[in-house]
Amino acid sequence: MKYIEYLLKRLIYSVVVLFGLSVIIFIISRVIPGDPARMALGPHATREQVEALRQSMGLHLSLIEQYIMYITNLFRGDFGMSLVSRRNVLVDLKLYFPATLELIIYTIIWVVIIGVPMGVVSAAKKDSKVDNFFKTLSFSAVVAPAFIIGLAFQLIFGYALNIMPITGRLSSALSASPRITGMLSFDALIQGDFQVFFNSLRHLLLPSLALSMPGIGQVSRITRASMLEVGTKDYISVMHSYGVPDGIINFIYMLKPAFIPSLNIIGMTFASLLGNAFLIEQVFSWPGVARYGINALLKVDVNALMGVVLLIGAVFLATNFIIDLLMGLLDPRVRLSEED
């Protein structure tokens, strides 16, 4: 019961943090140099036109009145009009967010299927040449900027070998499947359009792999350290003494408890990628929400900027909550510690 109370407290805490984030980013968006109305209308607009737009945006009101008006509209589902696209920001988020979410999902898949086995094998082969190679590779993946790796992938696979697409989400010769989720590969798979599905996967391969490199390095290092710690437990020594194969010990009996810290890192990686993907989206011309947010910042599109930051904050807090829930399910010690 106390564990449920703990989760409820975490949920309430998330709502409070999101409210605080809205206040902070609202104030920051209002003190950014530049007049949003003038930026939207351009240098040739008359003073009357600029003032009319300022009135319609409520920029003539006090900061508190502007915030109250914004929050009131937000609860009605009105995120305000983007000064660049001339659409409601909610419409833009629905348009751009699925592209980034799809990219992040495949990035996390790479992080799990490469980073975790690397950590397990590195721990099993401690101080060997394989371990040293994986440690060097992990460190290099962490320190190398993802966009530099992305540019290298473009030069190698796009220009030198010319075997992979390097921009966009789909080849121009193909039409996307009817929209269901907004994620091209998932929509195509659901509707059985395998040509579009495999083509979208080819476009996803390089940006997702480049974006996954820092996460792969972190997860590999954390998994290795956790595996080495679990390997010192008495029950692992007993299994070795009974002749249980190393593969079964490593991937069945040691990986589950060792995966708890890695799960936390994977969750934080998922949440952080939503904001950190903008360089990869820029390099690969990926029409995602991170790229949309950077353009909003550069063009002082305050409503779009607010919408993107609140979306990223909500996803980050939701991911934290889900990770807390999963850790409680995977590790009974977490539940018991909250019930003491």
Q: Is the CATH number of domain 96-290 1.10.3720?
A: yes
Instruction: Write down the pTM of the prediction.
Output: 0.85
Residue bearing tokens 């390099």: 283
Three-state SS at 88: strand
pLDDT over 80 (residue 33): no
Contact between 252 and 227 under an 8 Å Cβ cutoff? The reply is no
pLDDT in tens, 249-307: 888 888 888 888 888 888 888 888 887 788 899 899 999 998 898 888 887 788 888 89
Mean pLDDT of all residues in the chain?
Answer: 85
Which of the two residues, 55 and 32, has the higher pLDDT score? 55
Give the C-alpha separation, 75 to 240, whole Å: 59
Phi then psi for residue 85, to 5 deg, are -85, -15
Q: Could you tell me the residue ranges of all domains in the chain?
A: 96-290
255-276 and 302-330 helices, crossing angle to 10°: 180
Instruction: Report the alpha-carbon angle 35-39-43, nearest 5.
Output: 110
Predicted pLDDT of residue 262? 85
